[in-house]
Amino acid sequence: MPFSDYKKALVTGASSGIGAAIVERFCRENIEVHALARSAGALEELAQKTGCIPHAIDVTNREAIAALASEHEFDVLVNNAGVDRPKKFLNADPEDIDLLVDVNLRAVMHICRLVVPGMVARDRGHVINITSIAGNYNFGGNSSYHATKAGVAMLSNQLRIDTFGKRVRVTEICPGRVATDIFNHVHGDDPSIRERFIEGFELPYASDIADAIAFVVAAPVSMNVGHMEITPTLQVMGGLQTARPGEI
């Protein structure tokens, strides 16, 4: 279904990184793009640059999201907003668990609840859920994040079942490491963070993820790209550890 068949898109977490890149890419397709994030200043700059319509709303504000969904019929929904508090689950703070569940999972479920029924009624729509390789693979230190992203992965699968028989497509985009400022947001604004996670690596950029999303949206209506995993060529998931008692 080409972009010309769609009229409006909603992108969450749109103020920076992958979200802002998606907004820029969608605006080039001449559809009405609504950009949602908490940062009003960054959204205004994005609006001036792209012509998008900014909404300074927290994705956990259910009433504000419901009001927005009641005012617009969104044909494309990109659930991109997300947070992380890297920590082993044995050391997890209750506030961190609540935050990750509220932003990464609960908000996605409620936004889909508010937007997807309209797509079904119109027999037209595309849901893009940005998850992570953390939702499909195990690696240490991010247990709550893994759990919430896995939940969105399963939600994506279930949405395809619940909308079966209608031209509503659902795509899960699973990025690995991408060259964005997310590492500073998560680990702190320190020059060593960029050196640790970005400098010297060959990484995809936010614009590359946006181009991949544009590809799946512009695919023929008969084609649904259900799952797309995007990682650096020089990144691999997996590994096996075996410990003797008392070694760890």
Helices vs. strands in the chain: H and E counts, helices first: 9, 7
Which residues are within 8 A (CB) of 86 and not within 5 positions of it... i.e. 6 or more apart?
Answer: 141, 142, 145, 186, 187
Q: Which helix (H) or strand (E) holds 87?
A: none
Where b means 16+ CB within 10 Å and e means fewer, 2-21 reads ebeebeebbbbbbbbbbbbb
Catalytic-residue membership of 145: yes
CA pair distance 79, 212, nearest whole angstrom: 15
Task: Please pick, among 6, 137, 145, 205, the residue that the annotation labels catalytic.
Answer: 145
Q: Which residues participate in catalysis according to the annotation?
A: 145
